[in-house]
Every structure is written in structure tokens, then in C-alpha cells.
Amino acid sequence: MRKFLSRYKIFLITFGTLCVVIMWSIYTLLKPDKKLAIYQPDMVNNELVDTTMQYVRKYHKIADFKLVNQNGDTITNVNYEDKIYVADFFFTTCMTICPIMTDHMVKIQERIKNDPDVFLLSHTVMPRIDTVAQLKRYAEEKGVIDSKWNLVTGNKKQIYDLARKSYLAAKSEGDGGKYDMVHTENFVLVDKDRQIRGFYDGTNAEAIEELMEDLKILKREYEE
């Protein structure tokens, strides 16, 4: 047996390696490509969803919007038509999670700045404080690229409705009339059809890497 193994050692190693390569190739060919989920309101924690939307199970899309960015320009859903984008909610004077979220959004901006299909959209939850001038100062301080990333303000009810009825990313303070909300750390990945394809912890570096990987997967959907 030893003589046999010695004589055919190279052949056996080569044959074994070839078998592994063939099996891996077959597995790769047969393995279906990963697809991102399409999130519906009934799939999300009820705390983050308006009561009128909590039982919606299909056809959910980001609603039309009309807001103003850091340059005083009107930004609507048309600006993001046929685009993939990452959205979040913040306010410029936040001293807890917002600075970390913004730093991570800056890193995402650096990685997608030359990608014509991917953009960023940050909504202030305190439009009374975050005027156009304040957003402009904040954008300059953080290195926002105007052509890639809009920081938007506007009517508080519209922002509240977007946060809780469209992006499913904020908690209501439940005061019944002022549309106060508590934004979360969530970054929301939105596809070209205005559907939610992922939620990511904007304060977690590992979650940001997951978001970047999911971006690649989502882009492949439009290449098929």
C-alpha cells in the first residue's frame, strides 16, 4: 500500500484537487444569487411605524416629497428618480448618535462619490432649528459633496410622515399634535423603485460594511 501511495502520490493529489475545484464550481453555478428583501411596514418594529401603516403587507413605497436642501434648492422625489439612495434622519445639534452617523455617512459618500447610481439623503427632525443656513454650515463642516448628498429641511408634518409612514425609521413622542419624533440610528437603503431594501445601524462600522455589500447586490439586480 505504501509503495502504491508513493508511486501515485502526485496523481492522487492532483485528482483530489481537481475534484474539489469541480465540486466548488458546480456549487457556485447552482447557488442562487442573494436577493435583498423588500421591506413592508408589517415587517418592521411597530414603534417605528405610524399606526395607519402597521398592517401594510405589500406595495409599500417611499411617498412623494418636496423639501429644501443646504443650498436652498428644492429637492423632490424626482431628484432621486431611477437612483439608489441611503436615507437617514438627524439634527445638527444632536450630541449623541448623530455625530457618529454623520461620520459614517461621510465614509459612505467617499466610497460612492464616483458612482452615478447611488446618492444620500438626510432629513432633519428639527426643521425649526435646522434652517437652510444651519444645514449649509453643517454640510461645509462635515465635507458634504452637494452633488451626492442632500441635507433637507421643510414642513415638520411632512418630515414626520416621511419618517414614520415611508422610511419607517422614527419613534413618535406621542404628543398628539406637534409631530415630534425621536429619530433612530437607522440608515435606510432605497432602491430605484422607491422600495426599502435594508435597514442598518448607522453607528456601527460593521453594519456600514454590510450596507456597502448590499449595495453591490442591489446594483446587480439592475444589471441582469
Neighbours of 13 (CB within 10 A): 10
Cell of 134: 444651519
| Angle at alpha carbon of residue 106, lines to 170 and 37, rounded to 5° | 50
Are residue 8 and residue 65 in the same domain, yes or no? no
Give the integer Cα–Cα distance in Å for 143 and 132: 16
Are residue 103 and residue 2 in the same domain, yes or no? no
Neighbours of 132 (CB within 10 A): 16
Task: Give me the mean pLDDT over the 74-87 stretch.
Answer: 98
Task: Give me the mean pLDDT over the 13-28 stretch.
Answer: 50
Bridge pairing between strands 149-152 and 118-124: parallel
Are residue 23 and residue 76 in the same domain, yes or no? no
Are residue 70 and residue 45 in the same domain, yes or no? yes
Are residue 68 and residue 156 in the same domain, yes or no? yes
Task: Give me the mean pLDDT over the 154-164 stretch.
Answer: 96
In a domain, 36, yes or no: no
Q: Residue 34: its pLDDT value, please? A: 78
Are residue 53 and residue 128 in the same domain, yes or no? yes
Looking at the structure of the chain, the number of domains it has is 2
Residue 32, pLDDT > 70, answer no
Read off the DSSP letter of residue 185: S
Model confidence, pTM: 0.84
Bridge pairing between strands 181-183 and 170-172: antiparallel
Least confident of 21-35, 113-127, 143-157: 21-35
pLDDT digits (tens, 9 = 90+) for 100-115: 999 999 999 999 999 9
C-alpha dist (Å) from residue 2 to 9, 126, 153, 174: 10, 79, 78, 79
Residues 6+ apart with CB under 8 A from 192: 82, 83, 84, 117, 222
Are residue 18 and residue 48 in the same domain, yes or no? no
In a domain, 5, yes or no: yes
Task: Give me the mean pLDDT over the 138-163 stretch.
Answer: 97
Are residue 17 and residue 50 in the same domain, yes or no? no
Alpha-carbon dihedral angle through residues 151, 51, 35, 224, given to the nearest 10 degrees: -60
Range of the domain at 198: 41-221
In a domain, 56, yes or no: yes
Give the integer Cα–Cα distance in Å for 180 and 174: 7
Reduced 3-state DSSP string for 70-111: CCCCEEEHHHHCCCEEEEEEECCCCCCCHHHHHHHHHHHHHH
Q: Tell me which H or E stretch contains 119.
A: strand 118-124
pLDDT digits (tens, 9 = 90+) for 173-222: 755 556 888 999 999 999 999 999 999 999 999 999 999 999 999 999 99
The CATH number of whichever domain residue 53 belongs to comes to 3.40.30.10
Note whether 183 and 172 are within 8 A (CB).
no
Give the integer Cα–Cα distance in Å for 200 and 120: 14
- Any bridge partners for residue 88, and if so which? 122
Q: Which residue's C-alpha cell is 444632536? A: 94
Q: Is 98 annotated as belonging to a binding site? A: yes
**For residue 31, what pLDDT band results from cuts at 50, 70 and 90?**
very low
In a domain, 153, yes or no: yes
Note whether 174 and 47 are within 8 A (CB).
no
Maximum distance among all Cα pairs of the chain, rounded to whole angstroms: 88
Residue 8, pLDDT > 60, answer no
